[in-house]
Every structure is written in structure tokens, then in C-alpha cells.
Chains A and B, each alone.
Chain A
């Protein structure tokens, strides 16, 4: 697709921090839990598993970084491009005229980081275009811009 690299926008850096915290926190919690079990029962297997959880978390961190960097979106004249995925690389093209509605959601964790997810819906259920980890102002700007473009280019079914 004829998109200059500089036209791609990426989610906020905060998303990377959030995802790292999620993965790291989960690994740490699992390790602590297993270590407690190990201390209680004196089994070395639990300690082993605790170390494994930590190692797994450490390995996942770079993957999280790659996944974060794979996200991107570009607002072109008549359509929105959304790319994502490391293992399964996906690129969606959604014409503004086909958008039925846009929703902006923010979970509790996202909210503490001041982030939101913008999701586009078309009449096709299989359309899969969402952009997570946008700063709140950017999410609002994108939502308003998409709504405006969608209205001016709307096409019937």
C-alpha cells in the first residue's frame, strides 16, 4: 500500500509500559505464589516452577515490545489502515464510507494510564479494526475525525 513510513502513527508509549507491567506483573505474581507454596511444602519443584515463571516473563518482555511496535494506523484520504501482529501480521483497510459506528472504550488499567481503545465497526461482522493504547485526546480526535469523514463519504449498503 502506498503509505510513506512517516504516515504511520503508533499507539502511545504508555501502552508499552502497560503491556510490560501486565506481563511482568503476572510473571512476578506467579513466581511469588509458587515460592510461597515451595516454602510451605518444601518441594523443590515449586521453586523450579517459580524460576521458570520468572524466566518466561523475562523472555516475553522483548516479544511484548515487538508486538507493541507492530501496531500502527494511517489515515489516508478515503480509508483507514490498521496494522498489527507479529506472528500473524494483519493489515486492515477500512473505507471511511463503510463505517457504521465507532466506539471508544477504556478498561480500568487503561484508564489509569490515560489510554483508550478505538474500534471501528462496519456492516461486516468480520471487520477487525481496533487501535488500542491511544492517549485520550488522540482517541477523541480520531473518533471525531472518523465520524466526520464517515458522514461525508457514507455509502449505502
Chain B
């Protein structure tokens, strides 16, 4: 503990429970409207009113017992009435900071601040919700603290002076709406096929189709529609910009998100080219950041899916951005030996790998082509695996493990001697890369 006196406690925005209630809030209003208009029916509505009063009370209490403040280099959040929780988040470990504005939040001019921490436990500090005009200065302040600035230097007053900072950022890419819609439909073409099939069926024989819909098909269709909608909602007009404190991602249709990924926190980069995108030369660029976030209520749109830097864009644009993230990416990838054909006839043509002194790249996937880049200073461990068929063919694979969630670079089916050599090389290079002070 340093001598800095801790600042006083802050509360969240008073409208927070209302926004957190989300759809429930809207439902409550719908119940209230007939009551407000038809006064004579008040007696019959008493049970509903009681429930509403309870909900409002719960919201009020949750707001009253939650408070936060910045203590030296930590963010501290206290919450809970019966089970009191005091959470402390060291700002030096922040991986990324998101600002999320759900539809209702935009209506009330509040936003949520989400600090993603390292560690596989998936801890995320959430401040839901803070007034809109306070969010940006607060985020800049937290980012400055995370960079290692002293607390006094970035008091909120000073942070406001830093306001013109956003002008220094440099927009790299914005996703156009037309291609976004087309890309979502093309990637999930089988959904479109089923949907069209249902429509045709509805015309030809309404009876069978309605039977299908009732028998679970409807729920399935609904969940698929939500999936597509979420994707669209999240990636609508997503822009990537390079700022002094990292990569800025902004976008969204109803719920707006703004995310800052701190430099040097990217664990892996992945370029995905689904089958039907390839004739159009499109790709999706995704980055993997450490830490998992699969907790309940954790922004469902991000669950199980990487953060897309470019949801859809030209391959050349994607590669340009990769160059920015990993300036020393390997240019030449080498193919596996011909005899791999006997082991994986489909994959054979898609496999390749390459490395530079600081980065390793692999490709895989015959139909959905995936290219992964892993900066060597982020490598957690290396594994050399040789299965029975591989042994017969004198082949072996090397796995590169990273702290990210899904990106997994694998040097699949290489010549046994080459794989051994690659394992030794990558071990040495990764060691050297770890020692180098982070340049990025």
C-alpha cells in the first residue's frame, strides 16, 4: 500500500438495475400501462403490483450495496447484501477493456465498462452501468493506470484534459453492411437452404411444414435466427482503429460495443476463409486474447467465439492488418511431404507452416481455410506428437499451445526429422522471444 489516499467510493448509475433488467423492464412497463389507464381494475392487479414492487426493491438494494473505487493500481468493487463480496482487480493484468451499450442503456445514456483480466478462471470486472459521459474518461484513466502510470498523474481531472486523445487514432478498417449480410448468409448457407425449403414447403403442403414447426422445428429456427441476429448486431459497422493505447474496436447496431485491446496482449491471430467466401476473396480476421469469459451473463455474443477484428473483408486487407499486428510474420510457408496424402487425403493440400524469428504460421482446413499466426513470445508450451500411422509414414506433428481460447497452431504431418528440428528451433526461438522486452 502506498501513501496515496484512496479516492472516495463511487456508486453505479441509479438507473443501472433498470437497464440490467433488460427485457424484464420492458415487460414491467407493459404490465403497468393497462393498470395506469384502467383505474377501476386496480383491485385485480394487486398480485402483479406486489411482484413489481419486489423486483424494484431488489434492484434498489443491489444498487445500494454496490460501490467501487480505484485503489493505487487496483480496481476494487464491493457488492452483495447477504453474501458480501469485495473484488480487487490488479490493473496491470488487464487484457482488454470493453465499453458495452445495450439498447436500453443507450436510451438511458448509460454504458457498461468491462475489464478483461488474464487467467483462465475467467475473471472479468464489470461496472454496469456508468453514465455515458463518464465512461470514456474512466476508461482512459484505467488504461493509463494499466500502462503503469502513477495514480496521481491520471486523476479524473487530468483524464478529462486527455480528451482529444481519440483524434490520434487511425482508422484501419470499417465493415460495410452489404458484404456483412452477404457474408453471414454465405457462411451459414445451409441455414438459408433450410429456410427457403421451409418457405417452399409452406406453399406446397402447409400441413406437413406446420407439423414440423410445432415438433421442435420452431425453437430450432428461432435459436438460429437469434444466432444470425446476434452476429449481425455485434458486427454491424465494426471499425478497427489503431490508437496509442492499443487497438480500438467499435461497432454494433442496437447494442454498441467499444473495445480496447492493449498492445502486446494478442495471443494469436487467425484468418478464416469459409468455402463460399473464397470465390469473393473475402476473409475474417480474428484475434485471441488471454482469459476465458464463459460466465453467465457475460455478453452472450462473445461466448465461444473469438473477437473478430474484421468480420468480413478482402484478403489483402486482412493480411495488411496482420502485418500491423505481427510485423515479422513468416512470408514463406512450406508444404508437407507428398506421402501425407496417404494419411489425410483431404487435408493434405491445405496444410503448410512457416516461421520467422518471432512468429509461427500454420494453415489448415480444406473447405474452411484457416491460417493461424502465433507470436513466439506468447507460446506457452510445445508438444511433439506421433501417432501409429504417422510413425509408419515417418511423420509427426508439433502443437503450439497458447493462452488464447481457441486458436491452436499445429504443424501437422511434417517429416519426422523436420518436426524434431522444428520443436528444437521453436523452443529456442520462443525462449529468445520471451527474453526480448515487448516491442509491440
A123 contacts B120, C-beta separation under 8 Å? yes
Please tell me which stretch of B304-312, B362-370, B422-430 contacts chain A, meaning at least 4 of its Cβ atoms lie within 8 angstroms of it.
B422-430
Report if A157 contacts B (CB, 8 A): yes
Q: Interface digits, A3-33 against B, CB 8 Å rule (1 contact, 0 not)?
A: 0000000000000000000000000000000
In the assembled complex, the Cα of A79 lies from the Cα of B383 at a distance in Å of 13
A123 contacts B423, C-beta separation under 8 Å? no
Given known pairs A124-B403, A126-B399, the reply for A92 and B380 (CB within 8 Å) is: no
Given known pairs A2-B424, A95-B430, A157-B118, the reply for A122 and B380 (CB within 8 Å) is: yes
List chain B residues, Cβ under 8 A from A126: 383, 399, 401, 408
Report if B358 contacts A (CB, 8 A): no
Report if B388 contacts A (CB, 8 A): yes
Given known pairs A126-B399, A126-B401, A157-B118, the reply for A93 and B434 (CB within 8 Å) is: no
List chain B residues, Cβ under 8 A from A147: none
* Cβ distance A90 to chain B, nearest Cβ, rounded Å: 5
Report if A52 contacts B (CB, 8 A): no
List chain B residues, Cβ under 8 A from A89: 385-386, 391
A124 contacts B402, C-beta separation under 8 Å? yes
List 19 A-B residue pairs with CB atoms under 8 Å apart, sorted by A's residue number.
A1-B427, A79-B427, A88-B386, A88-B387, A90-B384, A90-B386, A92-B384, A93-B381, A93-B383, A93-B427, A94-B381, A95-B381, A95-B427, A122-B380, A122-B381, A123-B380, A126-B399, A126-B408, A127-B401
A78 contacts B431, C-beta separation under 8 Å? yes
In the assembled complex, the Cα of A87 lies from the Cα of B388 at a distance in Å of 6
B120 contacts A125, C-beta separation under 8 Å? yes
List chain A residues, Cβ under 8 A from B119: 123
From the candidates B385, B404, B424, B430, name the one contacting A90 in the complex (CB within 8 A).
B385
List chain A residues, Cβ under 8 A from B381: 92-95, 98, 122, 124, 127, 129
Q: Which residues of B contact A (CB under 8 A)?
A: 93, 95, 118-120, 265, 267, 290, 377-388, 391, 399, 401-404, 408, 420, 423-424, 427, 430-431, 434
List chain B residues, Cβ under 8 A from A100: 120
Interface size, A (range): 20 to 34
List chain B residues, Cβ under 8 A from A39: none
Report if A128 contacts B (CB, 8 A): yes
List chain A residues, Cβ under 8 A from B379: 98
B383 contacts A92, C-beta separation under 8 Å? yes
A123 contacts B290, C-beta separation under 8 Å? yes
In the assembled complex, the Cα of A94 lies from the Cα of B423 at a distance in Å of 12
B383 contacts A97, C-beta separation under 8 Å? no
* Cβ distance B429 to chain A, nearest Cβ, rounded Å: 12
With most chain B CB atoms within 10 A of its CB, the pick from A87, A97, A98, A124 is A124
A155 contacts B434, C-beta separation under 8 Å? yes
List chain A residues, Cβ under 8 A from B93: 157
Nearest to B431 among chain A residues (CB) is A78
B403 contacts A123, C-beta separation under 8 Å? yes
In the assembled complex, the Cα of A97 lies from the Cα of B404 at a distance in Å of 17
Report if A64 contacts B (CB, 8 A): no
In the assembled complex, the Cα of A94 lies from the Cα of B430 at a distance in Å of 11
A157 contacts B403, C-beta separation under 8 Å? yes
Given known pairs A87-B387, A125-B120, A128-B383, the reply for A97 and B401 (CB within 8 Å) is: no
Given known pairs A78-B431, A122-B401, the reply for A1 and B423 (CB within 8 Å) is: yes
List chain B residues, Cβ under 8 A from A74: none
* Cβ distance A47 to chain B, nearest Cβ, rounded Å: 34
List chain B residues, Cβ under 8 A from A95: 381, 427, 430-431, 434
List chain B residues, Cβ under 8 A from A124: 380-381, 401-404
Nearest to A1 among chain B residues (CB) is B424
In the assembled complex, the Cα of A95 lies from the Cα of B430 at a distance in Å of 9
In the assembled complex, the Cα of A142 lies from the Cα of B267 at a distance in Å of 29
Report if A54 contacts B (CB, 8 A): no
A91 contacts B383, C-beta separation under 8 Å? yes
From the candidates A122, A123, A125, name the one contacting B118 in the complex (CB within 8 A).
A123
A93 contacts B391, C-beta separation under 8 Å? no
In the assembled complex, the Cα of A40 lies from the Cα of B402 at a distance in Å of 57
In the assembled complex, the Cα of A126 lies from the Cα of B409 at a distance in Å of 11
List chain A residues, Cβ under 8 A from B377: 155
Q: Interface digits, A116-139 against B, CB 8 Å rule (1 contact, 0 not)?
A: 000000111111110000000000
A91 contacts B427, C-beta separation under 8 Å? no
With most chain B CB atoms within 10 A of its CB, the pick from A79, A91, A93, A100 is A93
List chain A residues, Cβ under 8 A from B404: 124
In the assembled complex, the Cα of A1 lies from the Cα of B421 at a distance in Å of 8
* Cβ distance B148 to chain A, nearest Cβ, rounded Å: 12
* Cβ distance A20 to chain B, nearest Cβ, rounded Å: 23
* Cβ distance A121 to chain B, nearest Cβ, rounded Å: 8
List chain A residues, Cβ under 8 A from B434: 95, 97, 155
With most chain A CB atoms within 10 A of its CB, the pick from B378, B430, B431 is B431
Since A88-B388, A92-B384, A122-B401 are in contact, a sample of 5 more A-B pairs with Cβ atoms closer than 8 Å, ordered by chain A residue number, is A90-B383, A93-B383, A122-B403, A124-B402, A127-B381
Q: Which 3 A-B residue pairings sit nearest by Cβ, starting from the closest?
A: A123-B403, A124-B401, A124-B380
Nearest to A80 among chain B residues (CB) is B381
* Cβ distance A101 to chain B, nearest Cβ, rounded Å: 11
